[in-house]
Amino acid sequence: MLIVGDGIIGLATAIAIARAGGSCRILGRITPGAASAASAGLLAPSIGNAEPGFRAFMSASRDRYPAWLRWLAERTGIEVTLDRSGIIELGPNEIASQRAGVERLDAAALEKLEPALTSHPGAALYRDDGYVDNVRLLDALREAARCEWSIDVVEGRVAAIQPGIDSCTATMEDGRTQHGRAVVLAAGAWIALLVGAPRPVPVEPVRGQMLRLQGAPLSHAVSTGDVYLVPRGESTLVGSTLERVGFDSSTTSAALDRLRLAAVAAVPSLRDAPVQGAWAGLRPMTPDARPIIGRDPDLPSVLYACGHGKNGILLAPLTGECVASLIAGSAPPVDITAFGIQRFG
């Protein structure tokens, strides 16, 4: 089994395959703009307007996190911070208040919970959501892949694949070839550039810029509508932009200034906070903002695990499990028909 891509989706898939008793080879090289390390690590199925089936899938993946991280810690000794004290979304939101696990906060309750925020008439607290340290999580996943005898990691980029009915060859950019019974396409925002896929994969890069400010005045992740703020150790992550600029993963001072202004509007004590870092990543976005997970309908040796857009950290554990089930010939733990590539015609 070959896996093209070494981000969180490729790694989570490899580990799920190994846990199910299979073996695989990850082919990948980190490219500037790779999304997984650039992310804010929010586990936020409750935010946004996802339709109920997709929201249920996101919630199921979020709920796998505690056991997943425990398994990784036992395997690697790397403890990954997981916070599930809830995410606060500012603003009265009638639709949100009808969802499970949501608590309405009036101005007084909000001030008590997060005194550093400017006063606000109301907010929603999504009690079951939270955030994970995605950088440490990547370290743990890479270490788990390294330790697992049934996972082979080959450093390098794949130039093209030649899939057949029951096998696949991948040609690396340096000319080496790799063979497997099948191939999982998990190359993030770059997936559409891969030569030899059985059909066009409608995934495009959408840049997100992030800022890291010194100081951690909040105890919850907060979404203000303009930005989100996520505690990360002794600092606060501020994100993010949504920009269609191709594969350009540079930052711009205009966007970083806007992020900072919006952060200070929500948390005035961040006004003089030193900037500890700024970066950008490329989200792999599909036209309907849902991932592509499943086998190619015409060439069963090709499986898709891509297009996770704004939610790939959240969706990694369940995506891995679903792809591993398909490879093992068993039914995925949840219905993934809605994520098939055939929906794009």
Using CA atoms, how far apart are residues 93 and 181, in angstroms rounded to an integer? 49
Q: What would the two tokens of residue 152 be? A: 């082979």
Q: Does residue number 323 form part of the binding site for ligand FAD (CB under 6 A)?
A: no
Contact 185, 302 (CB under 8 A): yes
DSSP secondary structure string, 275-335?
A: EEEEEEEEEEE-TTS--EEEE-SS-TTEEEEE--GGGHHHHHHHHHHHHHHHHHTS--SS-
Binders in 212-241 for ligand FAD, by CB under 6 A: 239-240
Name residues whose C-beta falls within 8 Å of residue 38's C-beta, 6 or more positions apart in sequence: 208, 210, 279, 280, 281, 282
Binding piece for ligand FAD, criterion CB under 6 A, among 27-35, 63-71, 86-94, 144-152: 27-35
Minimum Å distance from CB 197 to ligand FAD?
11
By C-beta, is 200 or 329 nearer to ligand FAD?
Answer: 200
16 lies in the site for ligand FAD, by CB under 6 A: no
Q: Which stretch binds ligand FAD (CB under 6 A): 38-46, 93-101, 103-111, 332-340?
A: 38-46
> Which CB sits closer to ligand FAD, 71 or 279?
279
List b or e across 1-27, with b for residues whose CB sees 16 or more CB atoms inside 10 angstroms.
bbbbbbbbbbbbbbbbbbbbebebbbb
Residue with tokens 């995925």: 332
Q: Indicate whether 31 belongs to the interface with ligand FAD (CB under 6 A).
A: yes
Q: How many residues in the shown chain lie near ligand FAD by CB under 6 A?
A: 43
Residues numbered 146 to 205 that lie near ligand FAD (CB under 6 A) are 157-158, 186-190, 194
Left, alpha or beta for 169 (phi > 0: left; psi -120 to 50: alpha)?
beta
User: Which lies closer to ligand FAD via its Cβ, residue 202 or residue 284?
Assistant: 284
- Of the candidate spans 2-10, 45-53, 102-110, 332-340, the one that interacts with ligand FAD by CB under 6 A turns out to be 2-10
Binding of ligand FAD by 283 (CB under 6 A)? yes
Applying CB under 6 A, which residues contact ligand FAD? 4-10, 27-31, 34-36, 38-42, 157-158, 186-190, 194, 208, 210, 239-240, 281, 283-284, 306, 308-314
